[in-house]
Amino acid sequence: MILSPSPNHNQRAFGAEISILMLHYTGMLSTAAALARLCDPEAQVSAHYLIDETGQIHSLVPEDRRAWHAGAGSWRGMGDVNSASIGIELVNPGHEHGYRPFPKAQMAALLPLCQDILRRHPIPARNVIGHSDAAPLRKQDPGELFDWQGLAKQGIGLYPKTRIWQGGAKILSAKALLKQIGYDVTQQCQANAYDFKKTLIAFQRHFHPRHCDGVLDQKTFMRLLDVAYSMKNDI
Ligand SMILES: [Zn+2]
């Protein structure tokens, strides 16, 4: 691990417990450009860690400090996500500059880092999320090429097993399911006002990555039910 200290952090809100692990992509063309931005006091952004495409980990902000990575958004009713989370940036050009798969070496470095963080903080599986989960209107990262399913197989985060739904399964509206999973479906925050299609795309990016089209078809609806059901027993 390389120390690349960023000045962009402050104190976590009083009483805030670390309960969310948020993953991002940098959306920039190079590691150097991303590091320069995350350490630039003018930019006022940061994360706790950055992992480049070779698997090199940079430590930017101490975990007990509030890094500035989440911005406006919410997860499971928590609005100040920065105070409650640890943020990891993965170097990737992102959707704007040539989105590409996350290399094996990068994922191999991410895995033990996440496991280590989860050992040290009370973060439930359902609170291991992407930036777009908390800010569906503004963000797409880490996106549909990120292997959430593979991560869940290693005990990081939650991914549903496919179930066969018999007739008689209770029909809930998709919005209610999105809310139950954790998405903000209120109009409270203007920068992040609820938009069904964008929120559904954020959900698909995370849990149904081959169909991130915002269309509520049968498969997407079943996947909503699967995720909500899997989360029922996760604290
Ligand atoms: Zn992000």
Domains of the chain: 2-153 (3.40.80.10), 174-231 (no CATH)
Q: Helices marked H in the chain — which ranges?
A: 31-38, 81-84, 94-97, 104-120, 131-134, 148-153, 174-181, 196-207, 218-231
Report yes or no: 143 and 212 within 8 Å, Cβ to Cβ.
no
Mean pLDDT of 13-19: 95
Backbone angles phi, psi at 71, to 5 degrees: 65, -155
User: Could you give the angle at the alpha carbon of 199 between the alpha carbons of 175 and 178, nearest 5°?
Assistant: 35
Looking at the predicted structure, is the pLDDT value of residue 82 above 80? yes
Which residues are catalytically annotated? 89
Looking at the predicted structure, is the pLDDT value of residue 22 above 50? yes
pTM: 0.83
> For residue 139, how far is its CA from the centre of ligand 1 (angstroms)?
7
pLDDT of residue 196: 83
Mean pLDDT of 193-218: 88
Q: List pLDDT tens digits, range 107-155.
A: 999 999 999 999 999 999 999 999 999 999 999 999 999 999 999 999 9
Mean pLDDT score of the chain = 91
> For residue 141, how far is its CA from the centre of ligand 1 (angstroms)?
5
pLDDT of residue 147: 97
Between 17-21, 156-160, 169-173, 204-208, the lowest mean confidence (pLDDT) is in 169-173
In the chain, what percentage of residues exceed pLDDT 90? 76
CA-to-CA distance for 168 and 181, rounded, in angstroms? 21
More confident residue, 187 or 41: 41
pLDDT of residue 189: 58
> For residue 229, how far is its CA from the centre of ligand 1 (angstroms)?
27
Q: How far is CA 101 from the centre of its chain?
A: 16
Does the CA dihedral 149-154-158-160 come out positive or negative? positive
> For residue 131, how far is its CA from the centre of ligand 1 (angstroms)?
5
> For residue 120, how far is its CA from the centre of ligand 1 (angstroms)?
23
- Strand, coil or helix: 209: helix
DSSP for 114-128, please give it.
HHHHHHHS---GGGE
